Structure 1
Amino acid sequence: MTKLTTAEMRGYQQICGSDGAMMVIACDQRGGMRSLLAKEPADQAAISDKVLGDTKADIARFLASKASCVLVDPICAVPALVDDRVLQRDTALLIGLDASGWDTSSEGYRLSKLVPGISARRVRQLGATGGKIMVYLRSDREEANAHNIELMRTCIEDFAREDLLLVVEFLTYKFDDEDEAEYKAKIPSLIVGGSRICLDCNAKVLKIPYPGSSEACAEVTRLAGDVPWAVLSAGVDHATFLSQVEDAMRNGASGVIAGRSLWKDCISLDRSVTKDRLENVAVPRLREIQAVIATHFKGAGLQSAQAGKRANG
Structure 2
Amino acid sequence: MLAIDQRESMRAMLAEKQSAPVTDQQLVDFKIAGLRALTPHASAVLIDHQFAWKPAIAGKVVAQGCGLISAADHFTASGDEIVGDSRIDENVDPAQVAKDGGVALKLLVIYRPDEPAEPRVAMVDAFVAKCKAAGLISLIEPVSRKPRDGRAYDLNDGILLAAKELGSRGADIYKAEVPLHGAGSEAEVRSQCEKLTSLIASPWVVLSSGVAPDQFPTAVEWACKGGASGFLAGRAVWRGVIGSENVEAALQADAVTRMKRLCDVVDRVAG
TM range (shorter): 0.7 to 0.9
1:1-313 alignment runs, 5 A limit: 24-39=1-16, 43-44=20-21, 46-48=22-24, 50-102=25-77, 110-138=84-112, 140-141=113-114, 143-176=115-148, 178=150, 183=153, 186-212=154-180, 213-225=189-201, 227-268=202-243, 273-298=246-271
Larger RCO: 1 or 2 (CA < 8 Å, sep 6+): 1
User: What amino acid maps onto 1:29 in structure 2?
Assistant: Q
Match of 1:14 in 2: none
Aligned residues: 259
CA contact (8 A) 2:17 2:242 kept: no
Question: How far apart, CA to CA, are the structure 2 residues paired with 1:98 and 1:137?
Answer: 15
CA contact (8 A) 1:235 1:260 kept: no
Question: How far apart, CA to CA, are the structure 1 residues paired with 2:96 and 2:164?
Answer: 29
Unaligned runs of 5+ in 1: 1-23, 105-109, 299-313
Question: How far apart, CA to CA, are the structure 1 residues paired with 2:126 and 2:31?
Answer: 28
CA contact (8 A) 2:40 2:66 kept: yes
Q: 1:232 to 1:40 in 2, by over 3 A?
A: closer
Q: Deviation of residue 42 (structure 1)?
A: 8.5
- SS for the counterpart of 2:240 is coil
Q: Deviation of residue 235 (structure 1)?
A: 4.9
Offset from partner CA, 1:61-106 (integer Å, 9 cap, x none) = 11121111111101211222122111122111101011233458xx
Match of 2:184 in 1: none
Q: Deviation of residue 146 (structure 1)?
A: 3.2
User: What amino acid maps onto 2:255 in structure 1?
Assistant: A
User: What amino acid maps onto 1:30 in structure 2?
Assistant: R
- SS for the counterpart of 1:242 is helix
Question: How far apart, CA to CA, are the structure 2 residues paired with 1:160 and 1:294?
Answer: 29
Q: Deviation of residue 286 (structure 1)?
A: 1.4
Question: How far apart, CA to CA, are the structure 2 residues paired with 1:39 and 1:119?
Answer: 34
Percent identical: 25
Question: How far apart, CA to CA, are the structure 2 residues paired with 1:256 and 1:58?
Answer: 21
User: What amino acid maps onto 1:173 in structure 2?
Assistant: R
Question: How far apart, CA to CA, are the structure 1 residues paired with 2:20 and 2:117?
Answer: 35
Q: Which has the higher strand share?
A: 2
Unaligned runs of 5+ in 2: 181-188
Q: Deviation of residue 40 (structure 1)?
A: 8.9
User: What amino acid maps onto 1:223 in structure 2?
Assistant: L
- SS for the counterpart of 1:79 is helix
CA contact (8 A) 1:103 1:112 kept: no
